[in-house]
Amino acid sequence: MPSVIGIGNALVDIINVLENDKLLDSFGLIRGSMTLVDADLSRKIYDATYFNKREITTGGSAANTIHALAELGVNCGYVGKIGNDMLGKIFREEFERKNIKPHLLSSEKDTGRVIDLVSPDSERTMATYLGAAADLKPEELSRAIFRGYSFLYIEGYLVQNQRLIETAIDLAKQERLNIAIDLSSFNIVELNLSFLRRLIAEKVDIVFANEEEAFAFTGKQPDEAVAEIASMCETAIVKKGKEGSLIMQSGELYKVDSFSANAIDTTGAGDNYAAGFIYGLTKGFSITQSGRIASLIAGKAVEVMGAKIPGTMWPEVLNKINSMD
C-alpha cells in the first residue's frame, strides 16, 4: 500500500488542567490565545504547572496527521527536529511505538513544546516554544529521506522557513511523491501569500484549507475559493466545519456532509480530516469516499480533548469505514 511521510514542527503537547485562570494572568497570557514564547518563559510556565493534572503527548500539525494515518494502518514516516532532552525522548519513543519511521534530527536547543492550559470551562490557552523544531535546516534534508514513500504531507506552519519547505518538496518530487499541504492558519497565509501561491501553482498536488485560510488565499467564499485553488493544483479541499467540505478535482465539485458529533474540543480536527482523506487515496478510493472518511475521522476527533483520537476508539472508526458504501 502507498506510504506517507510528513514534515513539520516536532512539538510535545503538555496539557495542563487549571483550577482557575490566575496563572494566565501571572504570565500575561491572553485567555484562549496561542502565544509564541521564548525558552526562558516556557520553562517558567512549565515549572509553575508541574503539580497540575497534566498529560504529555507528541504534537505538531503534521505529526498529528501522521499518527492518525498510522492508526489507520498506513506505513508512515516523519521528518522533524528535536532536542537531546526528556521531551525529545518522549517524542521519538511515541513514534516508534506506533511503527512510524522517525527521520528525526537532533538540536542543541530544547525540544519544542506547546504548554496547553485548560481553564475550568475547557477554554484552551497555548504557550508555544518552537525550540529545536524551528532549527531544522534545508541542507539537513536528503533525497534518501523521501525514498520509498508515495505522499509527502506538509504543515503550512513550516512556511516560516520558505527555503526549507521548498527544498523538501523538490527532494520529494525527485522521488516522484505526490505533494499535499495544509495551509494551517489564515495569518500564516496572509504573511506568505505570494510565496504560497507560487509554490502551490508550481509544485503542490493537494491543498487542504478551512474557510478562513481559503479566504485569505483567494479573497473568496468557499464555493469560489475551492475552484480557484483547484485551478492551481490537482485537488483542492475547503473544510467548512459543521457544514461539511468542498472538494474539487479535474473541474468537478464534490460536496461532502459532516458527521454529527458531540463536539467538546476542535483541536486537531483538520489534521485528522487530512489523514482520512489521504488514507482514502492510498486505498484507491473515490474522491467522495475519501471525503466521507475524512469527515468521519474529523468528527471523532472533536469528541475528545486534544488532537489525537485515543487508541481505544480506532477499532470503531475502522469498522465504520469498512461499512461505508
Q: pLDDT truncated to tens, each residue of the chain (325 aa)?
A: 689 999 999 999 888 888 899 999 999 998 887 788 999 999 999 999 887 778 888 889 999 999 999 999 999 999 999 999 999 999 999 999 999 999 999 999 999 998 988 888 877 788 999 999 999 999 999 999 999 999 999 999 899 899 999 999 999 999 999 999 999 888 889 999 999 999 999 999 999 999 999 999 999 999 999 999 999 999 999 999 889 999 999 999 999 999 988 888 777 899 999 999 999 999 999 999 999 999 999 999 988 877 899 999 999 999 999 998 6
Report how far residue 175's alpha carbon sits from residue 19's, in angstroms, rounded to the nearest whole number.
Answer: 51
Query: Cβ atoms within 10 A of the Cβ of 48, count?
Result: 14
pLDDT confidence of residue 266: 77
Predicted pLDDT at 56: 84
Q: What is the pLDDT of residue 325?
A: 66
Q: What is the helix, strand, coil percentage profile of the chain, to 5?
A: 45, 25, 30
Q: Report residue 279 as a C-alpha cell.
A: 488514507
Ordered strands of the 53-59 beta sheet: 34-36, 124-129, 112-118, 11-17, 53-59
Contact 240, 221 (CB under 8 A): no
User: Global pTM?
Assistant: 0.91
pLDDT of residue 260: 87
Cβ neighbours of residue 267 under 8 Å, at least 6 residues apart? 124, 305, 306, 307
CB-based contacts of 38-43 (< 8 A; 24+ apart in sequence)? 38/129, 39/109, 39/110, 39/129, 39/131, 41/127, 41/129, 42/110, 42/113, 42/115, 42/127, 42/129, 42/131
Helix (H, G, I), strand (E, B) or coil at 31: coil
pLDDT the model gives residue 15:
84
Sorted by where each starts, the structural domains of the chain and their CATH numbers stand as 4-11+59-113+130-182+258-323 (3.40.1190.20)
